[in-house]
Amino acid sequence: MSIAENLREIEEKLTCAAQKSGRKRSDILLLAVSKTIDVPHIKQAVELGCRELGENRVQEILEKYDQIPGVEWHLIGHLQTNKVKYIVDKVKLIHSVDSLKLGEEISKRCEKADRTMDILVEVNMAGEESKSGVAPEDAKALCRELSKLDRLCIKGLMTVAPYDPIPENNRVYFKKMKRLFDEIKAEDLPNTDMQHLSMGMTNDYEVAVEEGADIVRIGTGIFGARDYSK
Ligand SMILES: *Cc1c(COP(=O)(O)O)cnc(C)c1O
């Protein structure tokens, strides 16, 4: 399957899932996850309309940044505090803030760069040991602390659901995320503008959108299987 065909299929499914949740396709951002993908293939996707790209490693954003102009970058993977300084002037949204320490470092670097940074708080909904993200029961407390940092704007929540061959099994996590999102939104915290629920990947994005996701992060579904050998 070509990238164009893959994108057509995703567009149809997104349209359908958006309708099921009372929304339109245009209410959902398709974030193309370009990790491990080479520049020519990413450019194909960009030409087909993918103008926002997600990477999970700082180094990979830095390598691709100048080669792919006219796009916006999202950092979606675990971020080490010592790497924040390299991307603070390059990314539109950091999806993976899961500690106050990381929030403070982003805030400090933003102060120097004289900007503010939009962030999502990453929640480990299923409590998987291998995954980063704050525990669901600690998410509100973390948001309250992060909301004291003037250089950050909390834009919502992000989760990476478990891989499950039956995507329907993740519906419970997406529902809980939406509830948590609504509760935090209702707190009306400073430096907070709860707009985005980043959840759903190739395997489960339709279920995620049905439950309220407005950003889906899709890699394999667009570019095909990743090759980590290179
Ligand atoms: C790799 C990755 C994705 C995309 O995964 P696919 O299953 O290839 O769609 C989404 N989110 C994060 C955080 C990732 O690291």
What's the CA-to-centroid distance between 223 and ligand 1, angstroms?
12
pTM: 0.97
pLDDT tens digits, 183-202 = 999 999 999 999 999 999 99
CA distance 223 to 4: 10
pLDDT tens digits, 78-91 = 999 999 999 999 99
Under the banding of pLDDT at 50, 70 and 90, the label for residue 1 is: confident
Contacts with 58 (C-beta within 8 Å, 6 or more apart), sequence order: 75, 79, 80, 83, 86, 87
Under the banding of pLDDT at 50, 70 and 90, the label for residue 230 is: low
Within a 10 A sphere around the Cβ of 115, how many other Cβ atoms? 11
What's the CA-to-centroid distance between 213 and ligand 1, angstroms?
15
Share of the chain above pLDDT 70, in %: 100
Among 184, 185, 114, 120, which Cα is nearest to 151's? 114
- Residue 227 pLDDT > 90: no
What's the CA-to-centroid distance between 114 and ligand 1, angstroms?
31
CATH number of the 3-223 domain:
3.20.20.10
Ligand 1 pocket list (CB less than 6 A): 33, 35, 56, 76-77, 160, 201-203, 217-221
